[in-house]
Amino acid sequence: MFAKSFTSQKGVFAFLLLLLLLIPNAHSAERAGEYIILSGAPSLKKWEKYRLEPHDHWWGNFIRAARVRIQQIRDQKGAKALISWLVYRPGYLSRSIEDGRPLLSYIESVRDKYSVNLIYFDTTAQLLNYINHGMNRQEIKIVNFEFFGHSNRACFMFDYSNKIANGSKAWLHENDLKGAIARGIFDRRAYIKSWGCHTAESMSKKWKWATGRPMWGAIGKVDYSNGHLRGWVPALSNSDGRWAR
């Protein structure tokens, strides 16, 4: 009689344990971490029209590529995945005036379609504040960080050829990474990638030294033009270019 009762209790316990494993945890999205997409701004045509190889004929190079990546994450990770999209606002305001179109409303339509946490930033300090403190980094680590924008071998340039010709007034430089980005905010398996030009030629090394996590980047230039021919995914410009970290 005792043996029969004990066996029955074991069966109930096993069933309850299985049920707990199958019920979705309300905090599962938080434990999965945060996916951060960072978009710099386009050049202004008034500066670029005199160049032999002008940048950003189209305002949306860094927005459409980010949108495609956001859709990929949403499709792969589901509706509860925490996706934050950081966009450099001043550059889109100035391009909006030049183009005569409400570009911020176009950006916000992507936010609404994919239910992302859209954060505009006006300064590098605001960007770093969000990366470090935008979420409780003890509980919500950054599991994905990707940059779409202009860059050179030493920095992300959020407004290249937007405020001034052939230069930037807003950037994140490799020599400022140490101490600016807190250690421990990235998941140990975080996927980090710069989709800008030349990042792996120097900045990727400084990034790992500062954060403890490797960053993929390009050796060579990255091409955003004719994105519709390759699903809006940026591509290496030259045959001898490669992705590295």
**Pick from 148, 149, 209: nearest CA to 175:** 209
Supply the CATH number for residue 105's domain: 3.40.50
Compute the average pLDDT of residues 7-12: 50
How many domains in the chain? 1
What pTM does this model have? 0.87
The number of CA neighbours under 13 Å toward the Cβ of 12 is: 6
- Residue 18: inside a domain, yes or no? no
- Residue 166: inside a domain, yes or no? yes
Kindly list the distances between the CA atom of residue 105 and the CA atoms of 2, 43, 100, 146, 151, in Å, as whole numbers in the listed order: 70, 19, 13, 22, 26
Residue 80 Cα to chain centre, angstroms: 17
- Residue 23: inside a domain, yes or no? no
- Residue 16: inside a domain, yes or no? no
- List, for residues 35-72, the tens digit of each pLDDT value: 999 999 999 999 988 888 889 999 999 999 999 999 99
CA distance linking residue 1 with residue 182, whole number of Å: 62
- List, for residues 180-227, the tens digit of each pLDDT value: 999 999 999 999 999 999 999 999 999 999 999 999 999 999 999 888
pLDDT recorded at residue 11: 54
Task: Reply yes or no on whether the pLDDT at 163 is more than 70.
Answer: yes
Q: Could you tell me the residue range of the domain that residue 93 belongs to?
A: 28-244
- Residue 188: inside a domain, yes or no? yes
- The single-letter DSSP state of residue 158 is T
CA distance linking residue 159 with residue 87, whole number of Å: 11
